[in-house]
Amino acid sequence: TVLDDKYGGKLGFAEWSNANMLVVAQIEDKKAWDNLDDILAVTGLTGVTGGPHDFAQSMGHPGEPNHPDRIAATLDVETRARAAGKTAGGDQTSGIGIAELMLGEARAFVAAHKNDKLGS
């Protein structure tokens, strides 16, 4: 099976997954931005991403995700995150075909386990 061949079984896959965990904080309102230094200091945090519509709303600009204040705040979040050694926004997917990678692995997993009983 894929699990056996690639990871040495279920336990090996669990160990690999734990060692390669992606932990991303969603910075999508002014309060999160105000507390960004504390968020970036969280042990195990991989990076941050945002929500432009919610962020703009929280800044008093509902329906204006392209408002200059929101754009400036997002750039500040990204700059500070990178300075703290974290990824920011699109960094998590740049340089790799993450969708293709995930779909390929999912297809292989389903094909390998199509005859497995649920709960086994």
Residues in CB range of 54: below 8 A, 6 or more apart? 28, 29
Domain of residue 76, CATH code: 3.20.20.60
In a domain, 109, yes or no: no
In this prediction, residue 25 has a pLDDT band, given cuts at 50, 70 and 90, of very high
Q: Name the domain count of the chain.
A: 1
Six token digits for residue 13: 């896959």
In a domain, 103, yes or no: no
In a domain, 106, yes or no: no
In a domain, 108, yes or no: no
In a domain, 104, yes or no: no
pLDDT digits 0-9 by tens, 101-117: 677 778 888 888 888 87
Alpha-helical (H) ranges within 20-87 are 30-34, 36-40, 52-58, 68-83
- For the chain, helix, strand, coil in percent to 5 are 55, 10, 35
Residue 48 to residue 33: CA distance in whole angstroms: 11
In a domain, 26, yes or no: yes
In a domain, 118, yes or no: no
Structural domain of residue 27, as residue ranges? 2-95
In a domain, 111, yes or no: no
Confirm whether pTM is higher than 0.75. Answer: no
In this prediction, residue 78 has a pLDDT band, given cuts at 50, 70 and 90, of very high
Nearest to 108 by CA among 9, 3, 22, 8: 3
